[in-house]
Amino acid sequence: MSTSLRYGVIGTGMMGVEHINNLLHLPGATVTAISDPHAESRDWAQLAVGLDAPLARFADHGELLASGLCDVVVIASPNHTHHDVLSDVLRTGHHVLIEKPLCTTVADCRRVIALADETAQQWPQRVVWMGLEYRFMPPTQAIVREVRDGTVGRLRMVAIREHRFPFLVKVGNWNRFNRNTGGTLVEKCCHFFDLMNVLAADTPVRVLASGGQAVNHLDERYDGERPDILDNAYVIVEYEGGARAMLDLCMFAEASKNEQEICVVGDEGKVEALVTEGLVRVGRRSDGLGCVTERAVHDDTIRHAGLHHGASYLEHVAFMEAIRAGAPATVTLHDGLMSVAVGEAAHRSIDEGRPVTIQEVLAR
């Protein structure tokens, strides 16, 4: 391995370019190759690294993997390609970060995990990292530390609100249809289900959800077909140890000061993060009614804020540290599986009008 890790990025749409921009600010990282079947997306990648910068450009990810130009691969291709692309990467010795969601179905997640386990025998030092960058947002990391330090006592409730803008336009409009994304509660909300799992430090067992498509994309047609992605939902997740978590999602709420808010309550106190503002509030019951402290949270090590308040940069720092140390990933494919499982259970709950157990989703 050279002193500078050589990165290849598979899929150079919006998120792929976001990864490139983070890597350009990461000491010890060099973007040497990209692949994307869409010529304009390859041009976006070249523009990001610099028009005169050396960059191998491939239309097919197989050519990138065979080029010998990369030590590390980042997969940021459309969701419905993740199973096939990751399967190809896992059959090589490349370190890999796979963007969320791991796959669009639990069944495909299980297949790539089995392949990763099988091929790990051949490349035991390879790091396979699940890209769930919301874990790395500084306010989110702060409340995770508060919970781990016992500030709230025994955790009983988690509430996450995301009130945001509609889905952005993607190449070929692939993100307008559940068959390509896994559905909104997999595509977008796997991030939040992962945070719930991290905060609860427990196993989700049952999901009850209500949601629909009320406002967004109703007047759009693609080859005569109307988009079917949900734009609002409430999702309740129950955990083995008795804790509960809830997601409040609205994707026609641009008129919000905080796109994301996280609230955790235990038997001894409460912590909350206003993620967009970078604020954390802490209150302990023993301090009395209304006694709450508030502090701004930031991370001076972030060299590129990007689209996620520096979270993607911090994720890449942690990923590189694991590679350098020969250590396992701290965000695993199993974490990706469980976040998809909750999302898939939530969609089934909406479709069938009943609570859905995680076990029945994992058994499919």
In Å, how far from its chain's centre is CA 353?
27
pLDDT value of residue 1:
46
CA-nearest of 222, 244, 240 to 175 is 222
Rounded (10°) CA dihedral 207, 342, 166, 256? 60
Domains in the chain (CATH in brackets) are 5-133+312-331 (3.40.50.720), 134-304+339-362 (3.30.360.10)
pLDDT tens-digit map of 46-83: 999 999 999 999 999 999 999 999 999 999 999 999 99
In this structure, are residues 127 and 323 in contact, taking their beta carbons and an 8 Å threshold?
yes
**Kind of pairing between the strands at 155-163 and 244-250:** parallel
- How high is the pLDDT of residue 263? 98
pLDDT number for residue 107: 98
**List of the chain residues with pLDDT < 50:** 1
Q: What is the pLDDT of residues 150-200, one digit of tens each?
A: 999 999 999 999 999 999 999 999 999 999 999 999 999 999 999 999 999
Residue 2: the pLDDT is 52
Q: pLDDT at position 15, please?
A: 96
What pLDDT is attached to residue 290?
A: 86
Q: How much is the pLDDT for 177? A: 97
